[in-house]
Amino acid sequence: MKTLLSLFLALLAFECTTQKKNQEVNNGTKIYYAEQYRPQFHFSPESGWMNDPNGMVYYEGEYHLFYQHYPDSTIWGPMHWGHAVSTDLIHWEHLPMALTPDENGYIFSGSAVVDWENTSGLGEDGEPPLIAVFTYHDPVGEKEGNIDYQTQGIAYSNDKGRTWTKYGEPVLKNPGIRDFRDPKVMWFNESKKWIMSLAVKDHIEFYSSANLIDWHKESEFGKNLGAHGGVWECPDLFEMKIQGTNESKWVLLVSINPGGPNGGSATQYFVGDFDGSKFTTEQTETKWLDNGRDNYAGVTWSNIPEADGRRLFLGWMSNWNYAELVPTEKWRSATTIPRELILEKVNEQFVIVSIPVTELKKIRNEKVEMPAQVIAGSVGLETENIELMNSEMKLNFSLKHNGQTSAAETFGIVLKNNLGEYFKIGYSTPENIFYTDRTKGGINSFSENFAGLHTANYEAGETMNIHLFIDEASVEVFVDGGKLVFTDIVFPTESYDKVELFSTKGSIELIEAEAWNLNSTW
């Protein structure tokens, strides 16, 4: 009997390895991660539902990405933490589920840190443990009509994040408020304490702890500041150098749903100061990290080594308005490309600039250059050598014409297919408005909230650089080195394969145009 069982297991193992190989290539055709709309250089789960990125932490050469995951369905359900690792932020290896629901509830969003000094006492053999801090969402309590069903829990790992042990009882109880979640934890060196930022309905609360287990409330922020069109979620607090200076400021990211600038979910930010207890800001206007509809619940990596020094960000590339309805069958959702956040001071105003991480250059093929030219009306770009929906493109426009700024009234880029479907990126000079338009982008009948024109006020200079990352079902637009960003998903019936540049009421000069086909990372 035993022999039969081992034979069966050996056969099964053989079958699995062969299947995996077959998955990758079948007669020279890629079949792994090859479904329609499957992102080729973004992270997406193999199957099932995904929302927020969670617990992003760097440890011993690996970037960890956990994420809100429901493996049994392509719609939201009992939340787990899915897990993947990467050594370059671009190629991801799927790992077994990190955290699963238990008697305390579903495992909602949160963060992870390296407890270098073993302040928690949960480390082993002199090695620092990884500690995950997350929200328990108790669905039973919620059903019973209680309001205290969200609490904060922790789990630890002593094997580089491969397996996790829950601490047990929640470490931070609910004070009697329905929305009490998404802990982001960081080490505050001056007071030698951990600081937790927590989203509490319409504001952020800060808690401190010496050991990640006993938490003490420090302060509240934001009841009367920023956008309040929806509930506040997924905060992230971190210090940033102001670019080109030795000064630094503190930045607080706060996601909000709904109430985004173009509808549904979006992420706002505040620039101010943090003294270990209180966050304060002089900022009066609302600032958005991204003006597209599909960059939500994004936070930054913990424990990036000082020698690297970057503030690395990843968002969920969808929107609660329609995330459960998008036309993918095996999985739902992906992350944005990883971005580096930079704090700039422009005209006495703080701006967070987002740039694609430099590691993305690794997947570029040879550069394709397109001729500089004056655009009057509609002009097709020569893109035969570019597989548009797996590409990166940089276009530089001069807004000066005959010595005058802003010759054309509007100008921009259209990505299109033969079916008349298109995604448009444009700028209106009299209005100072930058926009993306997916009203005729492709399939959009799945939700009346999906099709739309997305706009942001933006004052152009004498030139405008538009940097695009185009994957199977998304377009990420970085304007003028990331001062303005639009992230939008889109579902063309057939891939876009043409690029048209346009100008209305006057001309615009294309001074430089380059593109790269990008290799699949899957």
Q: Which residues are catalytic?
A: 52
CB of 142: closest distance to ligand FRU in angstroms? 12
- Reading the block at residue 176, the tokens are 């009697």
Binding mask 357-396 for ligand FRU (x = CB under 6 A): ----------------------------------------
Which residue, among 63, 53, 64, 100, has the nearest Cα to 80 in the 3D structure?
A: 100
By beta-carbon proximity to ligand FRU, the closer residue of 88 and 142 is 142
Give the one residue of 74, 109, 267, 291 binding ligand FRU; rule: CB under 6 A: 109
In the complex with ligand FRU, which residue's Cβ is closer, 233 or 290?
233
CB of 85 to ligand FRU, least distance (A): 21
Produce one character per residue of 75-105: b if its CB has 16 or more CB atoms within 10 Å, e if not. ebbbbbbbbbbbeebbbbeebeebbebeebb
According to DSSP, residue 432 is labeled T
In this structure, the number of other CB atoms found within 10 A of the CB of residue 158 comes to 17
Span 276-335, contacts to ligand FRU by CB under 6 A: 297
Question: 51 vs 391, which CB is nearer to ligand FRU?
Answer: 51
**Minimum distance between the CB of residue 106 and ligand FRU, rounded to whole angstroms?**
8
- 233 near ligand FRU (CB under 6 A): yes
Choose between 221 and 458: whose C-beta lies nearer to ligand FRU: 221
Q: Residue 74, interface with ligand FRU (CB under 6 A)? A: no
**Cβ nearer to ligand FRU, comparing 293 with 467:** 293
Judged by beta carbon, residue 182 or residue 472, the one nearer ligand FRU is 182
Residue length of the chain? 522
Subset of 77-106 contacting ligand FRU (CB under 6 A): 79
The smaller minimum CB distance to ligand FRU, of residues 112 and 360, is found at 112
d(CA 181, CA 198): 6
- State how far the Cα of 150 lies from the Cα of 106, in Å rounded to an integer: 9
Q: Does 152 bind ligand FRU (CB under 6 A)?
A: no
Q: Which residues between 169 and 198 bind ligand FRU (CB under 6 A)? A: 181-182
Name the residue nearer to ligand FRU (CB basis): 44 or 68.
68
Site membership for ligand FRU, residue 438 (CB under 6 A): no
The two structure tokens encoding residue 506: 């006057």
* 393-422: contacts with ligand FRU (CB under 6 A): none
The footprint of ligand FRU on residues 198-217 (CB under 6 A) is none
Q: What are phi and psi of 23, to 5 degrees?
A: -60, -40
Asked whether 345 and 246 are in contact (CB, 8 A), the reply is: no
> 3-class SS at 65?
strand
Q: How far is the CB of 90 from ligand FRU (least distance, A)?
A: 24
Out of 51, 321, 391, 495, the residue judged to bind ligand FRU by CB under 6 A: 51
Q: What minimum distance in Å lies between the beta carbon of 103 and ligand FRU?
A: 19
Q: What's the min distance (Å) between Cβ of 68 and ligand FRU?
A: 4
- Nearest approach, Cβ of residue 151 and ligand FRU (Å): 12
Amino acid identity at 444: N
Strands 339-346 and 311-316 come out as antiparallel
Looking at residue 68, its amino acid is Q
**Nearest one of 133, 218, 126, 220 to 183, comparing CA atoms:** 133
Total number of residues that touch ligand FRU (CB under 6 A): 12
Q: What distances in angstroms separate CA 138 from CA 66, 145, 329, one per listed residue?
A: 20, 11, 29
Work out whether 52 is an interface residue with ligand FRU (CB under 6 A): yes
Cβ atoms of residues 42 and 474 within 8 Å: yes
Q: Could you give the CA distance from residue 422 to residue 405 in angstroms, rounded to a whole number?
A: 28
138 scored as a contact of ligand FRU (CB under 6 A): no
Site string for ligand FRU, 234-273 (x = CB under 6 A): x---------------------------------------
Q: Return the residue of 86, 119, 120, 135 that touches ligand FRU, per CB under 6 A.
A: 135
Smallest gap from residue 225 Cβ to ligand FRU (A): 19
Please tell me whether the peptide bond between 258 and the residue prior to it is cis, using omega within 30 degrees of 0: yes
Residue 493's alpha-carbon distances to 361, 389, 441, 443, 473, in angstroms, are 29, 13, 9, 6, 10
Of residues 52 and 488, the one with the C-beta less far from ligand FRU = 52
The answer to whether the beta carbons of residues 230 and 256 sit under 8 Å apart is yes
Minimum gap (Å) between residue 503 Cβ and ligand FRU: 39
Nearest Cα to 411, choosing from 504, 514, 511, 513? 504
Where does residue 136 fall: left (phi above 0), alpha (psi -120 to 50 degrees), or beta otherwise?
A: beta
Please, which residues bridge with residue 146 across strands?
none
The reply on whether position 108 binds ligand FRU by CB under 6 A is yes
Find the shortest distance in angstroms from Cβ 207 to ligand FRU. 17
> By C-beta, is 198 or 386 nearer to ligand FRU?
198
Query: Residue for token digits 């995330």?
Result: 323
CA distance to 21, 47, 409, per residue, from 25 (Å): 7, 19, 49
Q: Which is nearest to 253 in space by CA: 231, 241, 238, 275?
A: 238
Both tokens of 315, joined, read: 């968002």
Q: Which residues bind ligand FRU (CB under 6 A)?
A: 51-52, 68, 79, 108-109, 135, 181-182, 233-234, 297
